[in-house]
Structures are given as C-alpha cells and as structure tokens.
Amino acid sequence: MKMLWGMVKLEFLHKYNFMKKFFFIAALVFIDQISKYQVIQKFSIGESLNLLPILDIYLILNTGVAFSLFDDGGSSGRWLLVFLVFLVCLYLIYILLTESLNNLESTALIMILSGGLGNLIDRSFRGHVIDFIHFYYDTYSFYIFNFADTFITIGVIIYILDIAIQKFRANGNKTS
C-alpha cells in the first residue's frame, strides 16, 4: 500500500511539474504575442517612439532569423525556417518531458522554447517576425528584436551559466 501511495504521489508531482512548465511557457508566449499585437496596432512599419535616451519602440518586420540574418530567402526560406524551428521546439518539448533536469536547465529550456514558439507563430501565420525593441547609444545601434528573442537569449545565458556552475562544482569536489 505504501508503495502504491508513493507511485500516486510521484505521478501527481510529475503532472504538477508538467503543468507549471506548461503555464510558464504559455505565459511567456502570451507576453510575446500580446506585445507584438499592441505594437502592430499602434505603429506603422518604420515608425518609432523614444522611451529612454537609449531605447525606442521601432516597428520592423523581420523575414530572416536572429538579427535579420538570411532575410532574403523568400517563401521557401520562410517555410524552411518554420520547419527547422518546429523541429527544435519538438526536441525541447521532448527533453523537458523526458529528462531529469535541474531548475536552471529547466528554466533555460523553457525560455528558449517559449521564444522559439513566439517567433514560430509569427513566421507561420504572418510570414515574418515582428521586431520592435531598439537599443542604441550615440551612433551605435543594436539589432531590433522582440520579447521572444529576449527569452531565447536569456535562456541561452542561463544554460551556459548552469554548465559553468556544474563544471565549477565538479572541479571543486575533486581531491588532490
């Protein structure tokens, strides 16, 4: 009986953990999509609004990948990107559902997946990604991006930090 209760408890915790991940992903994708919707409703392409001395909302449509790379691929390039991003998202979902991850790994992959899904939605249904966050300083202009790009970047940073932390801990536990 005790073993059965333990299995039921473990199954509940697994489902609870899955639901937390699902709602976190859904919330991040919602934030990305609602921000893009708001910008598209209030701005014309190329229109900008200065928020801070280093930050504008500046609407562009990106047909390429990160930072507008490969933006001249046409329709076949678009669908190739959709297919590749879809495969990456499926892989991340598989990892999140099947692997035993620590909190940092899980958070990192959730952020990367959420950003990928946000941009996948744009590229699939609009044919381009809506970018609007523009940081700059003096004559230097950083690429224009969106929240999905931010989620991906933060996720990658968290993942790299987690690898470094694990490596540091492993090296710190070695005896001479």
Positions marked active-site? 131, 149
Please check whether residue 20 is in contact with residue 110, taking contact to mean a CB–CB distance below 8 angstroms. Answer: no
Q: For residues 133 and 150, give the distance between their C-alpha atoms in angstroms, rounded to a whole number.
A: 10
Q: Alpha carbon of 139 to those of 54, 60, 113, 143: distances in Å?
A: 11, 19, 33, 13
Which run of H or E residues covers position 77?
helix 74-98
Token look-up 């035993």 returns 100
